[in-house]
Chain A
Amino acid sequence: MKFTCLNKGNGFHLPPCYVLHVSGFRILLDCPLDLSALTVFSPVPADFCPSLLDESSNCSFHESLNMESKSAKRHKIEKPLDAKDLIYAEPWYKTLKNLHIWDPSFIDIVLISSTMGMLGLPFLTRSKGFSAKIYATEATARIGQLMMEDLVSMHMEFRHFYGSEESDSPQWMKWEELELLPSFLREMAIGQDGSELGGWMPLYSSVDVKDCLQKVQKLKYAEAACHNGALVIKALSSGLDIGSCNWTVESPEGNISCLSSSIFVSACAMEFDYRALQGADLILYLDFSSEDVIEDVEHHDNYSSPTTNNLSTLSDEDNWKELNECLLRNDESIEESKKLAFICSCVVDSVKAGGSVLIPLSRLGIVLQLLEQIPISLESSAVKVPIYVISSVAAELLAFTNIIPEWLSKLRQEKLFSGEPLYSHIELMKGKKLYVFPAIHSPNLIANWQEPCIIFAPHWSLRLGPIVHLLRRWCGDRNSLLVLEDGLDADMALLPFKPIAMKVLHCSFLSGIRMTKAQPLLKILQPKIVMVITIQLSSSLCNAILSLSLSLSLSLPPHTTHHHPYTTTHHTPQPFNSVY
């Protein structure tokens, strides 16, 4: 078996991407898009209104603007970044640097672990010679399709503004142009050594998305898919978000479990099915999220240490029970719900002060909970403001979440069994508390418009979609609130909207296995070998594995660079192999 890491990923929105060679099959795990790199582009300029301008006028406008910004750039190179430094062009999208050097015809199987791991898939499926079989869970495929369609529809605004596509390589990609970029932006665009430039692609079309989805074999959780009579592939719930999964591959060489970011007790998605990963020969420990929550480890040490001490003295059965209890302790979910409650209180405060609230549509699970809890908070503080969800796919997405009890957490399933709707948004819509519109210029929205209000809208990169226009409207209002998820470079993301008077609430949500739970988890799973990648290997995980006397296989450390705080998002390790 051979394992190659293509990208270690970065947080929830950019899952890691890697290639496995098993029994003669090449398996690609996940195919994400680095959407945070979109921030090198400018959003559609402020005074552009898609419904009012016709093609010819905006072309000249664009030209003049371009000239102006260009001359500005020449003089300002090493000064602090300015909105004018951003690239004014139809954005391209950054696929993983190391993926495009792979011949797509060499891939036999693609496994998709989450909707985020799917967004780059049409680039792969539309390339020549691609013939791999793609596996994804039904829910991931459906939600992923909606996300991609939304991306395509949001991108249309750029098309209208910049006119139809120019040539194979746009102006901004020429070396002379890139040279002019401030060093920080340049690095985001092309990487340290310029090697990442090849990863940029013009966005796929909705036809590409449709074709891509046709090549996906959709599975249920724990459905055994037999590939070519040689491999048995199963998707097991990971708890990260609705439909996300960990893959297991049974091959003649042994059983491999790919442990992606997982959450034990999830409020929305079906719980992490870790018991099904028991008895694997090899676990690829691919949950890189522990880096993000490393500061929390000390915080939670008081939970884990008594447990670990007790372990040796207990009988096997008690031990087992203890371990399971340790994993399923709801401290994490309590913490997450506290975070949500805090967001709700901030939302209420802003609305009371007469400001509006803008929440980017990012994690489905979080958005669904907020959609449910914000109205409750509003009601309890006797505030009446409308909530709008603005996205071309919002209606379908919300309808979909109410018909998929099989993919939801135990708690949500209880709602089905007691005859209540899975989520309250249908009732809220009927009660005229929640409105769903496909676009910001929908006639109904304009007719309905009321401020202050609470808006959920894409895209979390703050570069495209309705959120851009709304942000421009409210960024000067100090009573308004923007809720931003960590993981995105906030300075960079907010650059085009500066100066900003509105409040920005940064929040981070649990997006993987905590270090304190890694040890009991591995103890329960008892794999023969655990494989981790050194870049993410903190000493505590390493110790956890060694203390269980499991075999540990370390990948070679990737090419290391100095750790500039901005480069973390775009730093991708060199391809490296580890063979055992």
Chain B
Amino acid sequence: MEDVPLANKLLLLANVARLHSSIMAYSGAGQEVGKSCVVVSINGKRIMFDCGMHMGYDDHRRYPDFSLISTSGDFDSALDCVIITHFHLDHVGALPYFTEVCGYNGPVYMTYPTKALAPLMLEDYRKVMVDRRGEEEQFTADHISACIKKVIAVDLKQTVQVDKDLQIRAYYAGHVLGAAMFYAKVGDSAMVYTGDYNMTPDRHLGAAQIDRLQLDLLITEFINVAAGGKVLIPTFALGRARLVLTILLIQELCILLDDYWERMNLKVPIYFSAGLTIQANMYYKMLIGWTSQKVKETYTTHNAFDFKNVCNFDRSMIDAPGPCVLFATPGMISGGFSLEVFKHWAPSEMNLVTLPGYCVAGTIGHKLMSGKPTKINLDKDKQIDVRCQIHQLSFSPHTDAKGIMDLVKFLSPKHVILVHGEKPKMASLKERIQSELGIQCYVPANCDTVCVPSTVFVKAHASEMFFQSCLSPNFRFLNESSEDTSDSILERTNGKSRFQVTDERVAEGILVMEKSKKARVVHQEELLLMLGEKQHEVQVAYCCPVHVDNLDEARRDHISADDVLGLSNKCSWLQQLFTELTTDFPGWNIQNLGEHLQVESFHVSLCWKDDCPYRIIDSPRKKLAAVFFCCTWSVADGKLAWQIISTMEKCRLTVQNLNQNTD
């Protein structure tokens, strides 16, 4: 039973805000790296995480379908910001297209290293597309620089206020230099988008680091690629082969090699071909603060990116005898120097060519990766034999299922969304997250929309009286039975008496939320005063029949109502009931007040009304054999009341007194 009259005054303000996550345009099939682009609406704010390009396509399918965000093309009003997690093309490749061709002008955030390195990747890609394939440019070099100018660089852990309500923060992800996980918060709703991350410290990058945050949603990438860098070393440490490493940004590997050469005292030369690699090295030196602690600490004595064993390569060295390691660009052997070297070195099986994790369709790199060709057509009439070993390389560690489980467990978000992985593996991981961690997990397909509820916290002011009541002790004394095998000290000292005192403080109060007022938690007794209302009490009434022996006969003798009244007086049924109850309820203070009996708020008196509204009559026969007692009580004493009533219904009164009196 509720305090109904008061309920009208309590207006709950908690409007449950929705946090929509629409996952659009990612590819999760097969071994290929898809493109990442996730749009999240969180408490009315729309954020695009990553703006990647699919390397496997060369038509419009390489870009995310931006029309899903806004059909009118007004992206500035459709999105509040764009966040890029790291510089790989599958995460940033479509950004110049989006800002310069589609016309998005809002803020774009990325970390300092990403802002520095992303244009190198984009420019390299653009060159490959244009130079090699003569294809119409989707974006120009000017587009790239204009796009990057708009980017706002952020530092790790820096809290960035995008606007009044939206707050974002980057955390170290350890995938590549500058890779970050992003936290976004709007009102009380918060989420993390991980991008690619790495949970185990690498030689030159640290493991992902994040605070224990309160999250409604965690969107995590899931790619399972084994790191190849470690496999490589034994392969070419033999010192016979000439090796071409054709990778876009190879600083990670350079460090590995430089260090290995140093330790093993290898004399095989390592060469850089001019270009991107050297250019990128400049950035790496300045951004050494973003590497692992170990690399960072040595920056004064020796900047790890000042390679000791790496020197510049000259064209005349191509046919020089003896083993060497060469880093050459462009990475996909789409032309330029790497193609020139490849032509010379491909025919010998002693040589090894390593390729980056992905290559644009149509490049030689792509041809080498798809199948094991023995001959490659350079153009219509030129063909070369390929006998060298081919090695595909991915050296930026991605996290595995264990890493994801660890992160999910650590953050304990309310919901998890897995993106960017192979379907069956994602499904099994989803199962694990749901069963082991009890967290709702989703694996949406491309362009699916997932909705998860978000949190709204209400700040409530607590009253003084409420605090007082919380502080008062709540002692409970427990007399434990002897069978109980608790090993309290009390029990050991005096074996028989098992006496326990507990003091579990219980805070009881009332949360009051009114429109345009701050929520408050008050003590029960303050409520009426606060609301300016009178106290209403809920009374419960029941008209209880009590069987009286010989009542039928007595009724026949005294027909009139007056007589019945007289009868009762004489019989003093109330008195009889009083006696009954005092014996049945010895612990209670039952008072006989003449007209009625009272125990606590329970109140009982004889009822003569034939149509008492509180009476439930099953059969007229019963009616004749019983007198009725009207019982009322307040809700709080309900339990006692029903005990008394059940006693009353069982007991039997008599009219014997009457007979004696008439006699």
Q: Which of chain A's residues has its CB closest to B148's CB?
A: A417
CB of A413 within 8 A of chain B? yes
Picked from B116, B119, B300, the residue with its CB within 8 Å of the CB of A400 is: B300
- The segment from A108-116, A215-223, A453-461, A542-550 that touches chain B is A215-223
**A383 to B303 CA separation, bound complex (whole angstroms):** 32
CB of A405 within 8 A of chain B? yes
CB of A422 within 8 A of chain B? yes
The 0/1 profile, CB within 8 Å of B marked 1, for residues 386-414 of chain A is: 00000000011001101111100000010
In chain B between 275 and 300, which residues have their CB closer than 8 angstroms to a CB of chain A?
Answer: 279, 282-283, 285-289, 299-300
Given A223-B157, A416-B116, A417-B148, check contact A405 B300 (CB 8 Å): no
CB of A97 within 8 A of chain B? no
Q: Which residues from A are CB-within-8-Å of B288?
A: 403
In the bound complex, do residue B112 and residue A406 qualify as a contact, i.e. CB atoms below 8 Å apart? yes
In the bound complex, do residue A413 and residue B153 qualify as a contact, i.e. CB atoms below 8 Å apart? yes
**How many residues on chain B are close to A (CB under 8 Å)?**
24
Minimum Cβ distance to chain A for residue B174 (Å): 17
Picked from A222, A395, A402, A417, the residue with its CB within 8 Å of the CB of B158 is: A222
Minimum Cβ distance to chain A for residue B197 (Å): 19
In the bound complex, do residue B157 and residue A220 qualify as a contact, i.e. CB atoms below 8 Å apart? yes
**A404 to B160 CA separation, bound complex (whole angstroms):** 19
Q: Which of chain A's residues has its CB closest to B289's CB?
A: A403
Minimum Cβ distance to chain B for residue A135 (Å): 13
Q: Which residues from B are CB-within-8-Å of A396?
A: 300
**A406 to B288 CA separation, bound complex (whole angstroms):** 12
Minimum Cβ distance to chain A for residue B120 (Å): 8
CB of B155 within 8 A of chain A? yes
In the bound complex, do residue B112 and residue A403 qualify as a contact, i.e. CB atoms below 8 Å apart? no
CB of B159 within 8 A of chain A? yes
Q: Which of chain B's residues has its CB closest to A278's CB?
A: B161
Q: Which residues from B are CB-within-8-Å of A223?
A: 157-159
Q: Which residues from B are CB-within-8-Å of A417?
A: 115-116, 119, 148
Q: Which residues from A are CB-within-8-Å of B279?
A: 419
CB of A224 within 8 A of chain B? yes
Q: Which residues from A are CB-within-8-Å of B112?
A: 405-406, 413, 416
Picked from B119, B155, B159, B285, the residue with its CB within 8 Å of the CB of A224 is: B159
CB of B581 within 8 A of chain A? no
CB of B156 within 8 A of chain A? yes
Q: Which of chain A's residues has its CB closest to B160's CB?
A: A222
In the bound complex, do residue A416 and residue B300 qualify as a contact, i.e. CB atoms below 8 Å apart? no
Q: Which residues from A are CB-within-8-Å of B300?
A: 395-396, 399-400
In the bound complex, do residue B287 and residue A403 qualify as a contact, i.e. CB atoms below 8 Å apart? yes
Minimum Cβ distance to chain B for residue A41 (Å): 32
In the bound complex, do residue B286 and residue A422 qualify as a contact, i.e. CB atoms below 8 Å apart? yes
Q: Which of chain B's residues has its CB closest to A404's CB?
A: B289
Q: Which residues from A are CB-within-8-Å of B160?
A: 222
Q: Which residues from B are CB-within-8-Å of A395?
A: 300
**A470 to B285 CA separation, bound complex (whole angstroms):** 35
Minimum Cβ distance to chain A for residue B167 (Å): 9
Minimum Cβ distance to chain B for residue A214 (Å): 15
In the bound complex, do residue B155 and residue A406 qualify as a contact, i.e. CB atoms below 8 Å apart? yes
In the bound complex, do residue B153 and residue A419 qualify as a contact, i.e. CB atoms below 8 Å apart? no
Among A223, A224, A406, max chain B CB count under 10 A is at A406
In chain A between 243 and 289, which residues have their CB closer than 8 angstroms to a CB of chain B?
Answer: 276
**A416 to B148 CA separation, bound complex (whole angstroms):** 13
In the bound complex, do residue B156 and residue A220 qualify as a contact, i.e. CB atoms below 8 Å apart? yes
Minimum Cβ distance to chain A for residue B188 (Å): 16
Among B115, B148, B159, B285, max chain A CB count under 10 A is at B159
CB of A234 within 8 A of chain B? yes
Q: Which of chain B's residues has its CB closest to A422's CB?
A: B286
Q: Which of chain A's residues has its CB closest to B157's CB?
A: A223
In chain A between 216 and 236, which residues have their CB closer than 8 angstroms to a CB of chain B?
Answer: 219-224, 234
CB of A421 within 8 A of chain B? yes
**A419 to B303 CA separation, bound complex (whole angstroms):** 17
**A421 to B281 CA separation, bound complex (whole angstroms):** 11
**A406 to B170 CA separation, bound complex (whole angstroms):** 13
Q: Which of chain A's residues has its CB closest to B296's CB?
A: A403
Q: Which residues from A are CB-within-8-Å of B115?
A: 417
Picked from A221, A222, A276, A416, the residue with its CB within 8 Å of the CB of B286 is: A416
Q: Which residues from B are CB-within-8-Å of A221?
A: 155, 158
Minimum Cβ distance to chain A for residue B302 (Å): 10
Minimum Cβ distance to chain A for residue B213 (Å): 12
**A403 to B156 CA separation, bound complex (whole angstroms):** 15
Q: Which residues from B are CB-within-8-Å of A276?
A: 161
In the bound complex, do residue A419 and residue B155 qualify as a contact, i.e. CB atoms below 8 Å apart? no
The 0/1 profile, CB within 8 Å of B marked 1, for residues 197-222 of chain A is: 00000000000000000000001111
Q: Which residues from B are CB-within-8-Å of A405?
A: 112, 286-287
In chain B between 281 and 327, which residues have their CB closer than 8 angstroms to a CB of chain A?
Answer: 282-283, 285-289, 299-300, 303
In the bound complex, do residue B299 and residue A416 qualify as a contact, i.e. CB atoms below 8 Å apart? no
Minimum Cβ distance to chain A for residue B178 (Å): 11
Q: Which of chain A's residues has its CB closest to B306's CB?
A: A426
**A395 to B288 CA separation, bound complex (whole angstroms):** 17
**A234 to B119 CA separation, bound complex (whole angstroms):** 32
**A420 to B112 CA separation, bound complex (whole angstroms):** 14
In the bound complex, do residue B159 and residue A222 qualify as a contact, i.e. CB atoms below 8 Å apart? yes
Minimum Cβ distance to chain A for residue B82 (Å): 18
Q: Which residues from B are CB-within-8-Å of A419?
A: 116, 279, 282-283
Q: Which residues from B are CB-within-8-Å of A400?
A: 299-300
Minimum Cβ distance to chain B for residue A273 (Å): 10
**A253 to B472 CA separation, bound complex (whole angstroms):** 27
In the bound complex, do residue A403 and residue B286 qualify as a contact, i.e. CB atoms below 8 Å apart? yes
Q: Which residues from B are CB-within-8-Å of A422?
A: 286
**A422 to B289 CA separation, bound complex (whole angstroms):** 14
Q: Which residues from B are CB-within-8-Å of A399?
A: 299-300, 303
Minimum Cβ distance to chain B for residue A410 (Å): 10
**A179 to B159 CA separation, bound complex (whole angstroms):** 56
Q: Which residues from A are CB-within-8-Å of B303?
A: 399, 403
Given A403-B288, A406-B112, check contact A416 B283 (CB 8 Å): yes
Picked from A234, A403, A416, the residue with its CB within 8 Å of the CB of B159 is: A234
In the bound complex, do residue A402 and residue B159 qualify as a contact, i.e. CB atoms below 8 Å apart? no
**A366 to B106 CA separation, bound complex (whole angstroms):** 36
Q: Which residues from A are CB-within-8-Å of B153?
A: 406, 413
Q: Which of chain A's residues has its CB closest to B280's CB?
A: A419
Q: Which of chain B's residues has its CB closest to A393's CB?
A: B300
The 0/1 profile, CB within 8 Å of A marked 1, for residues 143-174 of chain B is: 00000100001011111110000000000000
Picked from A220, A224, A403, A421, the residue with its CB within 8 Å of the CB of B282 is: A421
Q: Which of chain A's residues has its CB closest to B119's CB?
A: A417
Q: Which residues from B are CB-within-8-Å of A220?
A: 155-158
In the bound complex, do residue B285 and residue A403 qualify as a contact, i.e. CB atoms below 8 Å apart? yes
Among A399, A419, A421, max chain B CB count under 10 A is at A419
In chain B between 92 and 119, which residues have their CB closer than 8 angstroms to a CB of chain A?
Answer: 112, 115-116, 119
**A395 to B300 CA separation, bound complex (whole angstroms):** 7
**A276 to B160 CA separation, bound complex (whole angstroms):** 10
Minimum Cβ distance to chain A for residue B646 (Å): 53
Minimum Cβ distance to chain A for residue B413 (Å): 19
Given A399-B300, A400-B299, check contact A421 B286 (CB 8 Å): yes
Minimum Cβ distance to chain A for residue B100 (Å): 17
Give 27 pairs: A residue, B residue, CB < 8 Å, sorted on A: A220-B155, A220-B157, A220-B158, A222-B158, A222-B159, A223-B157, A396-B300, A399-B303, A400-B300, A402-B285, A402-B286, A403-B286, A404-B289, A405-B112, A406-B112, A406-B289, A416-B112, A416-B116, A417-B115, A417-B116, A417-B148, A419-B279, A419-B283, A420-B282, A421-B282, A421-B285, A421-B286
Q: Which 6 A-B pairs have the closest CB atoms?
A: A223-B157, A396-B300, A222-B158, A406-B155, A399-B300, A220-B157
The residues of A with any CB-CB pair to B shorter than 8 Å are: 219-224, 234, 276, 395-396, 399-400, 402-406, 413, 416-417, 419-422
The residues of B with any CB-CB pair to A shorter than 8 Å are: 112, 115-116, 119, 148, 153, 155-161, 279, 282-283, 285-289, 299-300, 303
Beyond A395-B300, A403-B303, A419-B279, 11 additional pairs, beta carbon < 8 A: A220-B155, A221-B155, A221-B158, A223-B159, A234-B159, A400-B300, A403-B285, A406-B289, A416-B112, A417-B119, A422-B286
